[in-house]
Amino acid sequence: MTDIYEIIGQIAAILTTSSFAPQVYKTWREKSSKGISLAMYVMIFVGVAFWLVYGLHIKSTPIITANIATEIMVIMMLYFKFKYRE
């Protein structure tokens, strides 16, 4: 079950998911979403929902956990995009 590739998948999941954290923090700190693409985050929001369905089907823990966490961050970015629009 827990082989090297599952660990690699988990590291991948942790990195790509937590990557949104510095952007969320930066946008919140600067109170500006000027440089942020709304289209990007809308597409990620929908795409991540589809990844979640796929991950549940192939029973891939890294895909499931990564996409739940990513979706939370993406919702925060979408909120900031409107809250801090100029």
- Interface with a second copy (CB under 8 A): 5, 8-9, 11-23, 25-27, 30, 32-37, 39-41, 43-44, 46-51, 53-54, 57-58, 60, 62-63
Q: How far is the CB of 43 from a second copy (least distance, A)?
A: 4
3-state DSSP call for residue 1? coil
Q: What is the largest CA-CA distance in the chain?
A: 49
Nearest to 15 by CA among 55, 72, 68, 66: 66
To a second copy, the closest distance from the beta carbon of 8 in angstroms equals 5
Of 47, 55, 50, 35, give the one whose Cα is nearest residue 74: 47
Closest contact distance (angstroms) between CB of 78 and a second copy is 12
